[in-house]
Amino acid sequence: INGITMDLKAKGEFTVNVGTDVDGVYEKIKEFVDDYNELVEKTNKLLNEEQYRSYRPLTAEQKKEMDKEDINLWEEKAKSGLLRSDDIISRTMLNTRRSIYEKFEVKDGFSGKYTLITDIGISTEKYARGSAGGKLVIDEDKLKNAIAEDPDEVMKILFKESKFIEEEREEDRKIKKYEGGGFVARIHDNIMLGMEEIIHKSGTAGEAGLYRDVKGSILLDFVAGTKSGRGNISLLEKDVLDYSKKIDDLNTMLFRKENAYYAKFAAMEKAIARMNQQSAWMMQQFMG
């Protein structure tokens, strides 16, 4: 019954006490924390990755003169540090860390029993030279005790969904804000906002399916304005369009200049031809 197996041996009254699977809940939380720490480590690595400015992208001609292994090694160096100190990723991770330590307010539907994530045994690791920074650590005993004592409130603290509170416009783009969410919702919301900002800046590239799977509205918001012009097209694509337009304008101007010069040269040739005819006629008159 509901996942519980009972082997009845004889008649009689009995009482069944069903408790929370503390270890099972703990393992799920630990699994999420491990995944989050892996994300933090990878992100910090990208933000601090060394740049090799002398390794420029290879041209087609250069690739023809190199073997595949050398090309791969070169491109690995050329791509290194592309996200070093990236402002969007840095801001996203900073906002995520800040949100983790925001209080769980009664007005948002929490009981007030636990006001901070540290109250249930989750905190950030102490600073150590060479560490990634921002990783989460779990006090196993404290978390398990909280799960056993009040599992419903712990689940709310962890997984309660946030609510949308306002939407502002900045530099012709929407900024969304959320509040009242649990620990996981706060991390999710900040990462989603960061992904949306990246899409706004550079487009989806080949990862449109990923964003659609994670949060379909991001891609919808991104393309919604394209029916009425450039809309929410990415900044990178806007730059490409701007430069394409400049190139078209320059080509048009060049074409007009060429036509103007051709017209002038044609007029000059006609004038020279007339002058030659007049000169020949005058020579004939003098010689005749």
Q: Which tens digit of pLDDT belongs to each residue from 141-169?
A: 999 999 999 999 999 999 888 887 766 66
Instruction: Name the least confident of 50-64, 65-79, 214-228.
Output: 214-228
Q: Is residue 210 in some structural domain?
A: no
pLDDT band per the 50, 70, 90 thresholds, residue 50: very high
SS3 84: coil
User: What is the reported pLDDT for 141?
Assistant: 96
Give me 119's structure tokens: 């109250």
Please report which helix (H) or strand (E) contains residue 131, including its range.
none
Q: Is residue 110 in some structural domain?
A: no
**Residue 113 confidence (pLDDT) above 90:** yes
Q: Is residue 241 in some structural domain?
A: yes
Mean pLDDT confidence for 259-268: 75
Max Cα separation, the chain?
Answer: 148
**Residue 230 confidence (pLDDT) above 70:** no
Q: Is residue 286 in some structural domain?
A: yes
Q: Which residues sit opposite 175 in a β-bridge? A: 168
SS3 136: strand
Domain residues for the domain of 260 are 235-288
pLDDT band per the 50, 70, 90 thresholds, residue 278: confident
Distance CA 247, CA 269 (A): 32
Please report which helix (H) or strand (E) contains residue 97, including its range.
helix 87-100
Q: Is residue 175 in some structural domain?
A: no
Q: How do strand 136-138 and strand 163-170 relate by DSSP bridges?
A: unpaired
Q: Is residue 11 in some structural domain?
A: no
User: What is the reported pLDDT for 191?
Assistant: 85
Contact (Cβ atoms closer than 8 angstroms) between residue 41 and residue 132:
yes
Higher pLDDT, 12 or 35: 35
Give me 252's structure tokens: 């048009």
Distance CA 150, CA 113 (A): 9
User: What is the reported pLDDT for 122?
Assistant: 95
Cα 85 to chain centroid, rounded: 14
User: What is the reported pLDDT for 185?
Assistant: 87
Instruction: Name the least confident of 72-81, 84-93, 102-111, 202-211.
Output: 202-211
Percent of the chain with pLDDT over 90: 17
Contact (Cβ atoms closer than 8 angstroms) between residue 13 and residue 164:
no
**Residue 227 confidence (pLDDT) above 50:** no
The number of folded domains in the chain is: 1
Percent of the chain with pLDDT over 70: 67
Mean pLDDT confidence for 8-24: 67
Distance CA 186, CA 206 (A): 27
Give me 89's structure tokens: 């990723």
Q: Which residues contact 119 (CB under 8 A, 6 or more apart)?
A: 113, 146
Q: Is residue 277 in some structural domain?
A: yes
Higher pLDDT, 258 or 147: 147
Give me 6's structure tokens: 């009972």
**pTM beyond cutoff 0.85:** no
Q: Is residue 282 in some structural domain?
A: yes
Higher pLDDT, 19 or 20: 20
